[in-house]
Amino acid sequence: MPVNKKIVNTCKTWILHSVYKGFSSLINNHVFNGKAVTECDIRKVCSELEKKGYLYKDPFTRKLDLQTDNKYELSLLVPVYNNEKYLAECLNSLIGQKTGHTYQIVIVNDGSTDKSAAIIERYKGISNIAVFEQSNRGISAARNKALELASGKYIGFIDNDDIVSKHYVEHLINRITQTDADIVKCGHRTISDGRIVETSKLTDASYPGGLGSNIVKYNGYIWGGCYRRSLWNDICFPEGFWFEDMITRLLPYSICKKFEYLGEALYYKRDHETNASKVVWNRGIKRFDQLFLLRSIIRKRKDIQIPMTESHFGICMEELGCFACSRLGIKDLYNSFVISADIVKEMRAELGHEPEFSDGSTWFLYESLKNGDYDAYRLWMIREKIKILMI
């Protein structure tokens, strides 16, 4: 007798909703009862992670050697690694800009082993293109090198499998000319197999005094817009770490004094099966980069005197929640709990008062970490994983 898939799916949905409801009841009735995470706990966890192969190195010891001239209005920075399939389309969209503004394209080949180098070779003779070849060191190292080669007053980041509108440069620089903004971001479309599958929905906005609490409205993708190059005087990309775009909201967005947003979708983000986020980010011990990089960013912010605000605190809690419910396996749960609790302790000390949360889920995660309540943390993580299965 054939299986009725509709009935099976209905049963699965009912079971998941029932289990989710049960865990929600446990959470709603939970009385926090834990003990503070100690330095000894943290040392033990770090030692265990090291035995498993996780090695931490401070990602912000390097100071970039930026150019001092502004030969171009904008430099578009393209790190390249093994992308022979989409690279030419990406670069053609950049050289085909309809604009009277001056712009540079900086290509850093990060040790590609496919035909990417041969494709790049075809563009070397173009006057506004700079090319640099290096051994494979990762996307952060490639972006840092591109930053050092850039001669534009503003810089923008382009992923090597994406494309941009022919008006990308014109519209971004026009907004800069009108407002003297430190950052101009724009809308984007997600494309897959030549089709538009999603379009961003935010509309035009201006923040002449900086983003403030509005920082939570905007995603942390580094691509899709441009940044005043001087914002990078004291910061860099975290070489050797995954989740490098985590710096976007917590460093450059937090530093900028004037922020502009163009609702027009000028950037086209390609979704395909070899995207790095689909291939590697959820595997292995290196997932812990998300926690250790977050802690390093918090300390870097303090070093360059960016104050902790309620909004920044909330963004950090998003990262802790994302790690726990999206990337974490049960076997690493306690290690995640200890490191996350230590991060919350640092953030609370810097904020100076108890944060407020608009949703109960984030509040419960915060309270479990603040109180050192591992049972509560485990309840929260399991419920959130069930929620993901329900989607």
Domain ranges for the chain, please list them: 30-57+282-390, 72-276
Q: Mean pLDDT, the chain, as a whole number?
A: 93
From the options 3.40.50.300, 3.90.550.10, 1.10.3720.10, 3.30.870.10, give the CATH code of 72-276: 3.90.550.10
Pick the more confident residue, 24 or 137.
137
Alpha-carbon span 297 to 102, nearest angstrom:
33
Is 153 in contact with 74 (CB distance < 8 Å)? yes
Pairing of strands 129-134, 103-110: parallel
64-69: average pLDDT? 96
Alpha-carbon span 281 to 303, nearest angstrom:
28
pTM: 0.93
pLDDT level of residue 205 (50, 70, 90 thresholds): very high
Pairing of strands 225-228, 163-164: unpaired
Give the residue carrying structure tokens 């967005």.
253
Is 366 in contact with 344 (CB distance < 8 Å)? yes
20-33: average pLDDT? 88
Over the Cα atoms of the chain, what is R_g?
A: 23
Enter the DSSP assignment of 36.
P
Alpha-carbon span 216 to 202, nearest angstrom:
13
Q: What is the model's pLDDT at position 274?
A: 61
Q: What is the model's pLDDT at position 273?
A: 66
Alpha-carbon span 228 to 204, nearest angstrom:
19
Strand ranges in the chain using DSSP code E only, listed in sequence order = 72-80, 103-110, 129-134, 152-157, 163-164, 183-192, 195-199, 205-207, 225-228, 259-270
**Based on the number of CB atoms within 10 Å of its own CB, is 54 exposed (0-12), middle (13-18) or buried (19 or more)?**
middle
- Six-digit token pair at 240? 């050797």
Q: What is the model's pLDDT at position 174?
A: 98
For the stretch 208-267, pLDDT in tens is: 999 999 999 999 999 999 999 999 999 999 999 999 999 999 999 999 999 999 999 999
pLDDT level of residue 6 (50, 70, 90 thresholds): confident
Closest by CA position to 187, among listed 173, 172, 176, 174: 172
